[in-house]
Amino acid sequence: LQPVSATRQKQLALWRDLILKYHTTQKQNTLVLHECKLWKNEEIGRELVRENIRVICDDFVENGNGEWEDEGKTRLRILWKKPEELAGDLLAWATRSGFIGQVCTLYELSSGEDSEGASFQGADEELIRRALAILEDRGQVAIFKGDTSEEDGVKF
């Protein structure tokens, strides 16, 4: 990583963007630090040292793009979008798709045909739940419990 603070901040922002784009494109919700392909470029024979990987990941978390899944900080949950942003996307999708007044299951939101191409398709269930909780707090949705977590529903 760059030693000059301003340059380092730009570099960290580029890393955040790369991590998000890679994981959303690959539909991956978790980054395992020692397995992530982003840290190594075999074509030019270079890879990041562990200390820099930790700095990049800590910055990623501090900026609200991820959360550590374990105390040892070896697994990082990728928040494809911040819950507030995803809440807006969910409501816009429901409006655009004619789901206002309709009930959808969490499964339909994350994996259903009607949500194909939406920013939240394939997103981590926990992230979708957080976004829906924001909408529920605003009175824009009602959340219903199903027999299983995938059967939990939401009425827009």
Asked whether residue 92 carries a pLDDT value surpassing 90, the answer given is yes
- Rounded Cα distance between 40 and 44, Å, is 9
Question: What is the pLDDT at residue 66?
Answer: 96
Asked whether residue 123 carries a pLDDT value surpassing 90, the answer given is no
- Amino acid letter, 12: L
- Rounded Cα distance between 146 and 96, Å, is 25
Asked whether residue 150 carries a pLDDT value surpassing 90, the answer given is no
pTM of the model: 0.80
Cα separations (Å) of 65 from 68, 101, 122, 129?
11, 31, 16, 16
Instruction: Kindly report the backbone phi and psi dihedral angles of residue 59, in degrees, each rounded to the nearest multiple of 5, phi listed first.
Output: -65, -40
> Quick one: average pLDDT of 118-137?
93
Question: What is the pLDDT at residue 86?
Answer: 96
Summary mean pLDDT of the chain: 95
Give residue 122's pLDDT band: very low, low, confident or very high (50, 70, 90).
Answer: confident
Question: Residue 49 burial (CB < 10 Å; 0-12/13-18/19+)?
Answer: exposed
**Model pLDDT for residues 30-81, shown as the tens digit of each residue:** 999 999 999 999 999 999 999 999 999 999 999 999 999 999 999 999 998 9
DSSP 99-134: -TT-EEEHHHHHH-GGGTT-TTTT--HHHHHHHHHH
Give residue 149's pLDDT band: very low, low, confident or very high (50, 70, 90).
Answer: confident
Question: What is the pLDDT at residue 93?
Answer: 97
Question: What is the pLDDT at residue 27?
Answer: 87
Show the domains of the chain with their CATH numbers: 5-78 (1.10.10.570), 83-155 (1.10.10.10)
DSSP 33-81: GGG-GGGEETTTTEE--HHHHHHHHHHHHHTTSEEESSTTS-EEEE-SS
Question: What is the pLDDT at residue 62?
Answer: 97
> Quick one: average pLDDT of 97-116?
93
